[in-house]
Amino acid sequence: MSVRDQLRAVLSTLGSQTALIAVSKTKPVELLQEAYGAGQRDFGENKIQEMATKWELLPKDIRWHMIGHVQTNKIKYMAPFVHLVHGVDREKVLDELNKAAKKANRTIDCLLQVHIAAEETKFGFDPEEVEGVVARADQWPFVRIRGLMGMATHTDDEAQVEREFTQLRELFERFKAPQEWDTLSMGMSNDYPTAIRCGSTHVRIGSAIFGARNYNE
Ligand SMILES: *Cc1c(COP(=O)(O)O)cnc(C)c1O
């Protein structure tokens, strides 16, 4: 199936409450153009420089989502244009985003990435740390926290995935009203239907739209 057809197939399974971020990491700009031509405007990348290169080449009404681990020394390359930084997983990233946003004369929107999976390797704040970060948000006047992001364990055990997404959703609900949060980013190609059932507002879907990634290319 073409990118256009796969995009349509994915969109047809999303409710009107859920936004689609097309995860285009490692994919050539031609495929992003195809998705753009089919109406897609939100794209996700996990490397800052790759995202900046694609931003230069593609139409300027694309909303670029930084979904990967943030290397603070690269923030300057995305500060002028990034739409939403999902992978804020330590306060140092908030410090550096704040400086870069001030310099770029703008506010940068972000999500706090929370570690909900059983795997040790995934990045993120522990759930108990979120309250403290939110309480200190005045320290970063040029950054606006809009919600949370998380990744579930990679497993066929749907009950476990559901427990993890539900935990994130409950944490999100605690701060949603007082903080005016609007974004709960969870769900990827293999688990997004579960994420949507658990209240996801933004799913990040790559391989189901663009095909499997080949990191050796
Ligand atoms: C790669 C990636 C995705 C998309 O994964 P797929 O399995 O291709 O849908 C979503 N979120 C993050 C953080 C990613 O790094």
Q: What is the pLDDT of residues 42-79, one digit of tens each?
A: 999 999 999 999 999 999 999 999 999 999 999 999 99
**Ligand 1 mutation target, pool 188, 196, 207, most atoms within 8 A of CB:** 188
Q: Contact 160/181 with Cβ under 8 angstroms?
A: no
Answer whether residue 217 shows pLDDT above 60: no
Q: What is the pLDDT of residue 122?
A: 67
pLDDT higher for 81 or 117? 81
Model confidence, pTM: 0.96
Q: What is the pLDDT of residue 118?
A: 87
Q: What is the pLDDT of residues 69-108, one digit of tens each?
A: 999 999 999 999 999 999 999 999 999 999 999 999 999 9
The residue count for the chain? 217
How many C-alpha atoms does 199 have within 13 Å on its Cβ side? 19
Answer whether residue 216 shows pLDDT above 90: no
Cα(142)–Cα(36) distance, rounded to whole angstroms? 30
**Ligand 1 mutation target, pool 46, 155, 185, most atoms within 8 A of CB:** 46
CA of 140 to the centre of ligand 1 (A): 28
Query: Which ranges of the chain does DSSP label H, i.e. alpha helix?
Result: 3-13, 29-37, 48-57, 75-78, 91-103, 130-135, 158-179, 192-197, 207-210
CA of 87 to the centre of ligand 1 (A): 12
CA of 24 to the centre of ligand 1 (A): 9
Computed over every residue of the chain, the mean pLDDT equals: 96
Name the residue with the closest Cα to ligand 1, atom 7. Answer: 189
Residue 119 pLDDT class (50, 70, 90 cuts): confident
Ligand 1 atom nearest to 205, measured from its CA: 9
- Mean pLDDT value of segment 151-162: 96
Q: What is the pLDDT of residues 21-46, one digit of tens each?
A: 999 999 999 999 999 999 999 999 99
Beta carbon of 32 within 6 Å of any ligand 1 atom: no
